[in-house]
Amino acid sequence: MGLLEDKARARVFYRYLSKVYDTINPFIWNEEMRDEALEWFGVEAGDRVLDVGCGTGFATEGLLRQTDDVWGLDQSAHQLEKAYAKFGKRGDVTFTRGDAERLPFADDSFDGYWSSGSIEYWPDPVAALREARRVTKPGRPVLVVGPDYPKSSVFQKLADAIMLFYDEGEADRMFAEAGFEEFEHHIQQRAPGTPRAITTVAYVPEEDGETTDSEVGVEAV
């Protein structure tokens, strides 16, 4: 497990990163990449969408162009403060502070689940993907963006020491283990030589009857 695949360390990390996140992020995950992923996501006006690991709201801005029913969840109070400054604490987005591995929402609450730049910090990504499946309606999309595994063995060792990086084979394993049957992976890159993202679009099985003991209510912050 990488250094930042620990929730307490990740919160401390984002306490400082939140100050410069919006400046750094476009060099790794820019608007063009986000908008391409939004096309694959394919939600429509009126759909209720959950943005897990919403951070300062970069993806949230794009989601709001597709639907006005967007919910944002993040474990970092500092990232959420930045998001509040953009959208208002009680504005266009319903924000909740919470954990991707234990979502405070009822089964089948959302028409789409989106998470970009968050899976690399999840200690148990399969558990979080099961939660994504649980809260999303059958037949509807779950889109997850994470860091593609480096090709260089030197960078592989560095990546493994920091956080979760994974390739298409590992993505296949995680999504299948989480109960998804239909999914596809896309590799995105801002420019040659820059970090690559692996973007997976999965669909909740139509006959998904999974139930859990997770909380069924939601309280926005």
Q: Report the domain count for the chain.
A: 1
In a domain, 84, yes or no: yes
State pLDDT tens for residues 55-95. Answer: 999 999 999 999 999 999 999 888 899 999 999 988 889 99
State pLDDT tens for residues 87-139. Answer: 998 888 999 999 999 999 999 999 999 999 899 889 899 999 999 999 999 99
- Other beta carbons within 10 angstroms of residue 175's beta carbon come to 24
In a domain, 220, yes or no: no
Can you list the pairs that 172-178 forms with residues at least 24 positions away whose Cβ atoms lie under 8 Å? 174/125, 174/126, 174/129, 175/129, 175/200, 175/202, 177/126, 177/129, 178/126, 178/129, 178/130, 178/132, 178/133
Alpha-carbon dihedral of residues 201, 178, 204, 30, nearest 10 degrees? -20
Of 15 and 213, more confident: 15
In a domain, 217, yes or no: no
Radius of gyration in angstroms for the set of CA atoms belonging to the chain, rounded to a whole number: 16
In a domain, 165, yes or no: yes
- State the pLDDT confidence band at 216, using cuts at 50, 70 and 90: very low
In a domain, 221, yes or no: no
Of 93 and 7, more confident: 93
**Are the C-beta atoms of 56 and 77 separated by less than 8 Å?**
no
* Residues of the domain holding 146: 7-203
In a domain, 215, yes or no: no
Of 148 and 179, more confident: 179
- Other beta carbons within 10 angstroms of residue 188's beta carbon come to 18
Q: What's the pLDDT score for residue 150?
A: 57
**Are the C-beta atoms of 71 and 197 separated by less than 8 Å?**
no
Rounded CA separation 87/80 (Å): 10
Give Cβ neighbours of residue 201 (< 8 Å, ≥ 6 apart).
40, 41, 141, 142, 143, 183, 184, 186
The CATH number for 124's domain is 3.40.50.150
In a domain, 48, yes or no: yes
In a domain, 32, yes or no: yes
Rounded CA separation 136/193 (Å): 35
